[in-house]
Each structure stands twice: as C-alpha cells, then as structure tokens.
Chain A
C-alpha cells in the first residue's frame, strides 16, 4: 500500500500541502508530514487521548482519523493555542496549578479541555470530570489537571 494522495491540511491557520498514503493517520500526518510534533502519540488505539487535536471545533483523537478525512477541515493543535507570546488561559492554568509533570499527555489534555469548553462553556463540574476522564495521565493523579481546567473554565466564561 504505497499509493499516495496529494492533499492540503489546514493546521493552526497554515496550509500544509502533503502527499500521504490513504492509511496515514491524522496524528502521523500532523507530526511527520507537517512537522508539528507537539501532538503526541500514546497508544494509537484511541484510548489514551495524548493525540487529541481540535478538528472543526471538536476534540478528536487524531490517531483514529485518517489524514485524508481531515482535508478541508480546520485543525488546531497545541502549537496554535497561544497568541504569540501570550499563553492561552488553559496553558497558563496548567502551569499555575501544576497540571503537568512529564508533559507528554499535556497537549492532548489541553486540546480536549479547550475544545470542550469552547463548545460548552457552562459545562457542569460533573460533566467536565466525565470529559477529562477520556484522557490518560500517568504522572499527576489528575487532581491538579482538574483544578487547572476548572480555573481556566471560569476565566474562559468570564471573557
């Protein structure tokens, strides 16, 4: 299976013209073909959520989507969260509340939380916990991730 398809991915507002096999996952395309290595791959089974990115406003596991399926859609990754040198409130909250240790799962958690809160700013605490339980972190025990996301949610609502 080596036949390649030419397509353009829009990542954080930049167009990336790439040639990929139909079986290429979006995660691999983002990392290897578009050079955006901030998105991490933790399991390739759609379980850990480390590869979560936002596609057309929805958080998705980029290991479960093919690159060809993402053509024409707006993809956002962790590299696009900050506005120049100003961190997104979610990034700042993760730093303020020690919501990360090794940092490998962090981009996935950031994109998951931002994606959900943009869609549903008034999400209840219980529903937010449900959402956050869809990604795995092995370092923090989640307590500080939850704290960070709740703090950022309040700020995002205040905007």
Chain B
C-alpha cells in the first residue's frame, strides 16, 4: 500500500484515492519540525495559579524587585466574554488574570516575568497568594441544588445555557408506548491531552510596533481577531503563527487567557516573551471536557421500534465559558444530535450547561457525541434485553435507511450506510463463532463480551450550521489561494490549520489531479496570518471537506487559466488541451508546453496575451458547505476479569463510511488514533477532583492515556458512499473513532457482565467501578442467602 509513487507522466492514475506518503514527514522524523517551545526569548513567564477552587483574593505579595503582573495591571484589557444569542445563554466574563475572586484550582492569578524559565519558576514559588477560601461547587448536581452559591452573578442557579426541545404530539406518542427503557449515564471529566502542551511566544518588533505571536493553536486567525479585540489593538498589528502543533484534539481551538497576556506583555516590555506550559498545568488548567450526566428514556412500540426519546443533559462546563464556541458546545451538541443514526420522530430534551468551580470545559474530539453515543447505544442494548431481541436486530429495526432524512431536531442526513456498515461489521466479526467462544469461556470462568456501536458523525459543516446555534462568532467557510509561481511550482495557501491530519498531503493530491502534476511539486502553506488567507482553522472534522472543497474550486480556476494560456501558446482550441505530466498538450498531437513555461509567460510576457488574460497565475476558492454525515459501526470484544475488574480489549473492528477517501493511509490513521482515544475515554482516562476542588490526577501516570499495551489491533473495513453535500465527495472522519469506541467497549463490558446480572453505565469503566458493581451484587446475594 505504501509503495513509492511516481509522477503521473502519461498514466491515467489519479492521485486522489492513493495512499501516498505524507509530505509533512521528512522534517518531523529528522527533528527539523518547528514547535513553539523551540523558540528562544528574552523574557519568560511563569503563572502563579490558584491552589483554591473558590475564594476571595486578598493581598498578593511578590518578592522585592520581581516583575509580577496581576489583574490590577490589566484594567484596560477586556474580559474574554463569549456570546451565544440563543438558549437562555448568560454571558459571563473571564478576566485574563483572576480578579477579586478565584473560581477553580489552577486559575492564573499572577504572572511572573523573568529572564529565564527557571528564574521565573523560582520567583513564582515565592509569590504569596492570600486567598480567603470558600466552599467550592465541584459536581454539577451540587451546583444545581437550591441555595447553592452563585459562581457568576449573571447566571442565577449556575445555569449558564439551557436548551429545550419538544416535538408536537410528544405526550400522546409517549403514552402509547409498549415499553419505556431508561438509562442514567455518567461520563466523567477528561482532558484531550495533546502530547505538546500549550506554549506561546510573543515578539515585539520595534521597527513597526507589531507583535508576532507564535502559539500552539488550531485557529490562528481567530486568535488574532480575539486577542486584538481584547487588547484594543489593530488586527494588522498582530501576526499569529501556528507552527508545527503537537496535537490539539479541540483543546487548542479555544482562546487561552495566557496567550492574551503574552501579547500584552510583549507590547508593554517591547520585547520577546515566552511561556511553555508544564504537564501539570495542562492537566489542571488547560481545557477539560466530557463531564456530563445524561438520563435518556426510549419509548418503543410492541415491535421494538423507537417511537420517542426523552433526554435530560447536565453538562458541567466549569468556571467560565470558552471562546469561540461558548460552553454551549457540549450540552447543545448533545441536544441536537442525541437521536444519532436512529429513525425517531418524537423527541423531548432539556440540556443545561452548569457552572462549577472546576477548570473550564471546551471542545474535545467528538464533543458530546462520545457520551450521547455511549448513552443511546447502551439504551439500545437495554431495550434489546427488555424485548428479548439480539442487539443487532433491534438496531436493524431502528436505523435510518431512507435519504435524505430530516431528524426530529431538523438535521438533514445525507446518503449514508448505517445498516450496511452494521451488516458488514456483524459479518466480519463473526458473531456466531464469538457466541460459541463466549459460552465455552464462561464455562471455564472467563468472561468475554461483545459490544456494537452504530453512529452518525456530522462533519464538514459550514456557517449555516454554526449560525443555527446562535454563535456570535460563526465559523464555517474556508478560503484557499492556489498560485503557480513563475518557475512553475504550485503553492496553496489555506485558512485551515492542520496539526497532524496530513492536510499538506491530501490537499496536494486534490490539486495534483486538477493540474496534472505530482503532489511533491505542491506546497501547502498554513498557520500564519501574514501569509494564509483568513480561515477558521482545523477542528470539527472539517478541514478536508471544507478546505478541500475550497482547494478544488481554486485549483479548477487555475486549471481553466492554464488551459487558456496553453490555447494561446499552442494555438489550439481550449477543448483540445489536456493537462498531464506537468505539461499542457494538444490532444492527438505532439504539441506541448510545460506548466513552467506557461507560468513564466503569464508573468513575464503578459503583453502577449493581448489583454485577454490577466497577468499572473493566482486563483482563490471559497467553500461553505451545508455539512454531511459520516457513519460507522464499531465492534469491541473484551475479556473481563471479575476478580480484579480488569478489562482487556481483545479485538476491535470498525466498518466505516466517510465518503470518498482522498488518502486511505491517512484516513486509517485518523480512525486508529480516534479509537485509541475512545478506548482511553472508555476505560482509563479521568480527571479526578476531590471534594475541595483539588485535582488528584496531575500527571500522566495518574491521568492515563492508553499506551501501546492497551491497544488492540484495529481491523478496518470501508464503504465509500460519495457525498452529494461535498464537492470533493469526501466526508470528514477525524472524530468518529473517538465517538464510537466508548459505546462499543461499554456494551461489550456489559455483555461480559451478563452472568452476574449487573450493569455499568459510567465512563471510564475503571477496574474499581467494575469491581464496585460486582461487589454490590455479591453482597446482595449474600444477604439473600
């Protein structure tokens, strides 16, 4: 699959669809990547962070002679105040450094500036924070209780966002149900944990007063817009660069108050200022996610057809609202997409975002869908049990199979393969053989389980989808500039900001097919607001669909112009020109001209085109699609040890459909990585707060991302249903792995637990939690005995 590829000289091979090696890799495997923390600086910052989850800030005492910045220095800086114009959203402001009160452990209260990182750390240790601590609210249910302290005065009852939906006629349909099945699901708090923690470097240029902020972000342009706005500076005075970024997974799409301070400091000191977050800071003070309680009930008719769903979502959003999505990102996503891939016409939901004294919640790969998929897929297995049906059978009865399908919440699902991927997965995993093996294993005291997860993954959605949420900042579209320079080399400048997704390669493949040149002659440039067109960055499984679409539009324009140039130079009709192998040819003749010669001509001999063609070879494409749905069926087989609660994922299979695949190697890699995070979410990863709001998981041995040991080999099977909602026919697939895995693993665990007559609906399902439900059952049994 990874055979070296040749240029498309004379062959009809397309670049799209081929597993070519990544153009990103040579620099990264030789240590020549450029990451933010590689930059040297004159000044270094260390943040002094609150040890208390709630309290009033008293005196802050700094050592003599030290430069220590506090909120008192930042009166002229606006607070980060994300806005949503819907869903009873209450706008709350986050000061760049805590002002008067602290709201979570890890909140930055002061910033020490020194000439080295070590010195800044030494001084930070000597800064005395006097905080009059008060009782914090850690659990969202406590924050909702009557009489709970109010975390922001703007949000009475600590409810910052509230979405409700109820379809007409819901009550009547609910009353008609043959059976109602219920699940109380709990997802504990997680951290996206990119291997590169946050880092920023702000350099002041004395010649023009500009600041260049290099930072590890997924959204460089929006960082510029937001920071310039908060500091009251011209956007053109700020350049933001996202160099190589060591993973993001959503954590790096939100605005960090720390980056704002760095720019402010660079301007104040007229110097170069840097900050590199340490891992403990990342785990306690970078963005968290997934802390939710979801109660879901399904009303079924006598044939186990789902009639209606009723959901209650309580999302712990932490102490502030994240910019730009706002903290509505989790509860509102849960509300909009709860029905998933199932045909259900009636739906009621109450979704609330609740403020607590914990680290701010933001997007993390999958955003809510890992949780709602786990919830509804557990509900389906419970319903299967209630109706004495096979889990696969109940899914077949309820999956959407007619397209386009408009959901109860008004989402339009394009062509997908929910049933086909389920059938494919069932066939490939070999269910009857597994059941026989499971039976035989149980007889020997070993407990195996199988779990299915079918789901939809909404991807590549443009501005209308974000506007529907009422976001004051409405992302969605992307612009790409494709140019051919006078030497014939191609550059694509893109507004997306890839950080591991391989977009430099896949976009080059798309351009290569249009222009008839190999991808390694195409350079994709991103992540610098001075050189890339305005765009929204890389998140939400959008870049290949949206930036890819914009790339295709721009490349087609370049192609059209090349054909015109060739038509002039070769004195042939445009219809007779073909582009291949780096040349334009007149079909059926040996007349040919290279792209390099044409480019040279249109720049340096523009007069020859007699005003019929504009000089230069630069075209722009913008794309703002409606959005599409990828889909998949995941299957996990687990081996559960009832004595220790330990779960080993023995086998993992994915049957997925992400439309046309541009580079199968890269697509598979996205699924592998997504599933690994999903398995981590299902079994291992949890940010644990104690009752005082302190974090007990502040290193990577306590917060446990999976290692190679915990990962099964992932078997992948593909169906390619070209999307009608995406001009490249590709759908996004960055999040699917993470969305499906917790559901599949939890269903497998519960299948393994069947002989014990217990269930577990908590992620992560740690050995302790599994032992707890088993112990309860053992004790109940003893009591009866």
By a beta-carbon cutoff of 8 Å, the part of chain A in contact with chain B is 1-2, 21, 23, 31-32, 36-45, 47-48, 50, 77-79, 81-82, 87, 91, 94-98, 100-107, 110, 129-130, 132-146
Contact = CB atoms under 8 A, between A and B. Distances in A.
Given A41-B37, A95-B25, A95-B26, A78 B247 contact: no
Nearest to A110: B29
Contacts of A50: 195
B709 A36 contact: no
B669 A144 contact: yes
A102 B196 contact: yes
B28 A106 contact: yes
A103 B38 contact: no
Contact of B35 (A79, A104, A132): A104
A47 B700 contact: yes
Nearest to A82: B30
Contact of B196 (A2, A37, A42, A145): A42
B686 to A, nearest CB: 16
Interface in B28-43: 28-33, 35, 37-38, 40
24 contacts: A32-B40, A38-B31, A39-B31, A40-B35, A41-B37, A45-B279, A45-B701, A48-B279, A79-B30, A87-B29, A95-B26, A98-B2, A101-B669, A102-B195, A102-B196, A102-B244, A102-B247, A103-B24, A103-B27, A103-B500, A138-B673, A139-B673, A141-B737, A142-B708
B194 interface: yes
Contact of B31 (A37, A96, A145): A37
- Which of B24, B28, B37, B119: most chain A Cβ within 10 A? B28
A85 B142 CA distance: 61
Nearest to B216: A104
Contact of A98 (B22, B38, B244, B707): B22
Given A40-B37, A94-B29, A102-B194, 13 more contacts: A45-B700, A45-B701, A48-B195, A96-B2, A98-B668, A98-B669, A102-B195, A103-B28, A103-B29, A138-B705, A140-B672, A142-B676, A143-B672
B583 to A, nearest CB: 29
A138 B193 contact: yes
B673 A40 contact: no
Contact of A102 (B118, B246, B708): B246
B30 A87 contact: yes
B339 interface: no
Interface string B99-138: 0000000000000000000110010000000000000000
Contacts of B705: 136, 138
Nearest to B703: A47
Contacts of A79: 30-32
A43 B29 contact: no
Given A45-B701, A110-B29, A144-B672, A105 B195 contact: yes
Contacts of A42: 195-197, 279
Interface string B382-402: 000000000000000000000
Given A103-B244, A136-B705, A141 B31 contact: no
SS of A interface (majority): loop
Contacts of A141: 669, 672-677, 711, 714, 737
Contact of A40 (B29, B118, B246, B500): B246
A141 B278 CA distance: 23
A91 B708 contact: no
A64 to B, nearest CB: 13
Contacts of B714: 141, 143
B31 A136 contact: no
Contact of A31 (B38, B118, B278): B38
B700 A38 contact: no
Contact of B669 (A37, A103, A140): A140
A134 B31 CA distance: 20
Given A43-B700, A138-B677, A141-B676, A104 B247 contact: yes
Contacts of A145: 708
A98 B665 contact: yes
Contacts of B29: 78, 87, 91, 94-95, 100, 103, 106, 110
Interface in B720-749: 737
Nearest to A42: B195
A41 B197 CA distance: 9
B246 A103 contact: yes
A78 B700 contact: no
A136 B707 contact: yes
Contacts of B22: 95, 98
Contacts of B499: 102
Interface in B4-47: 21-22, 24-33, 35, 37-38, 40
A45 B499 CA distance: 25
B501 interface: yes
Contacts of A36: 31
A37 B35 contact: yes
**Which residue among A45, A79, A81, A103 has the maximum number of chain B CB atoms within 10 Å of its CB?**
A103
B249 interface: yes
A63 B194 CA distance: 18
Given A37-B38, A87-B30, A130-B709, A47 B699 contact: yes
Contacts of A102: 194-196, 244-247, 499-500
Given A91-B30, A141-B714, A133 B279 contact: no
Contacts of B25: 94-95, 100, 103
Interface in B668-690: 668-669, 672-677
Nearest to B244: A103
Contact of A45 (B675, B699, B709, B711): B699
Contacts of B197: 42
A147 B367 CA distance: 30
B55 to A, nearest CB: 28
Nearest to A47: B700
A10 B163 CA distance: 61
Interface string B181-198: 000000000000111110
A16 to B, nearest CB: 16
A111 B21 CA distance: 22
